[in-house]
């Protein structure tokens, strides 16, 4: 998955869920990670190559208590590996 593909999916999920920090599920290989998109990951801070697969999604624990964040490299996410949690 490229950075632009990831950003487009996250924007669509955010519209559907009514937030800029959607709840997502990421499947990368044999690993499944669920969580809320961290505020730092919601918007890229600097110009980038739109075809680049390099970037990291930061997902916060989805519960009420703060838990550890999970990092997922975008290059490891297949094209159908990012979805929303409804």
Residue in 70, 66, 68 with CA at minimum distance from that of residue 56: 70
Q: Is 17 a residue whose pLDDT tops 70? A: yes
Q: What are the domain boundaries of the chain?
A: 3-84
What is the H or E stretch that residue 5 is in? helix 3-17
What confidence tier does 47 reach under pLDDT thresholds 50, 70, 90? low
pLDDT digits over 72-85, tens only?
988 899 999 999 99
Q: Per residue, what are the HEC states of 8-55?
A: HHHHHHHHHHCCCCCEEEEEECCEEEEEEECHHHCCCCCCCCCCCCCC
Q: Give residue 66's pLDDT.
A: 75
């Amino acid at each position: 998955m490229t950075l632009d593909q990831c950003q487009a999916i996250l924007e669509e999920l955010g519209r559907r869920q009514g937030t800029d920090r959607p709840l997502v599920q990421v499947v990368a290989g044999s690993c499944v990670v669920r969580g809320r998109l961290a505020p730092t990951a919601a918007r890229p801070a600097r110009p980038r190559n739109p075809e680049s697969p390099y970037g990291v999604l930061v997902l916060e624990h989805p519960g009420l208590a703060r838990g550890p964040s999970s990092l997922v490299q975008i290059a490891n996410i297949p094209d159908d590996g990012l979805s929303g949690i409804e």
